[in-house]
Amino acid sequence: MTSGNITLTIIKPDAFTSGKAGKIIAHLEAEGYAVRAARVMRLTEAQAGEFYAVHRERPFYKSLVSFMTSGTCMPMVLEKAGAVAALRKSIGATDPKEADAGTVRKLYAESKERNAIHASDSDENAARESRFFFSEAELIAAK
Ligand code: CMP
């Protein structure tokens, strides 16, 4: 598991609680991603607030934190060559209405906010976000 080949994804509460996690994981595995770490959890308000701190000043921040704490979600570390760019392509645009056909959000997302899945936007954030959810021991074990 080397930098450049890993990314952090979250199957968000809209998709997880409506039973779409299995289909989304199967979709990603079929596209060549390997699940290296995974957890099923419900984010606390503090965790969601910290994870999305970069959006703190945005008008949708409060609603986003409320959505992300509304039910169970599933953070995962995925491995594939060029994982960060590849996964952003695989999941599609933030708004499912604008997402390309065959992307995870086109297939499974409800709306711009309830958009089924998160993906890291840089290698640096992939490493930071992986450490947010998983211990060093879990990340080492995943190698
Ligand atoms: P993501 O890109 O994974 O991380 C930021 C999240 O904020 C995004 O997914 C959506 O869930 C949410 N988001 C982004 N833009 C908007 C918006 N304009 N209105 C509501 N939610 C948004």
How many angstroms separate the alpha carbon of residue 112 from the centre of ligand 1? 6
How many angstroms separate the alpha carbon of residue 111 from the centre of ligand 1? 9
Give the model's confidence band at 143: pLDDT under 50 very low, under 70 low, under 90 confident, else very high: low
Which pLDDT score is estimated for 14? 98
- What pLDDT digit, counting tens, does each position of 32-71 carry? 999 999 999 999 999 999 999 999 999 999 999 999 999 9
As a whole number of angstroms, the distance between CA 35 and CA 25 comes to: 8
Report whether residue 115 contacts ligand 1, using a CB cutoff of 6 Å. Answer: yes
Model confidence, pTM: 0.96
Residues paired with residue 34 on neighbouring β-strands, in sequence order: 79
Give the CA distances from residue 125 to residues 6, 26, 77, 119, in Å, rounded to whole numbers and listed in that order. 10, 24, 12, 10
Token digits for 65? Answer: 């934190």
What single letter denotes the amino acid at residue 98?
A: E
Q: Quick one: which atom of ligand 1 is closest to the CA of 118?
A: 3
The per-residue pLDDT of the chain, averaged, comes to: 96
- What pLDDT digit, counting tens, does each position of 99-123 carry? 999 999 999 999 999 999 999 999 9
Q: Which helix (H) or strand (E) holds 105?
A: helix 104-108
Phi, psi of 13 (to 5 degrees): -55, -35
- Three-class SS state of 50: helix
Establish whether 27 is a catalytic residue.
no
Active-site hit among 20, 36, 105, 118 = 118
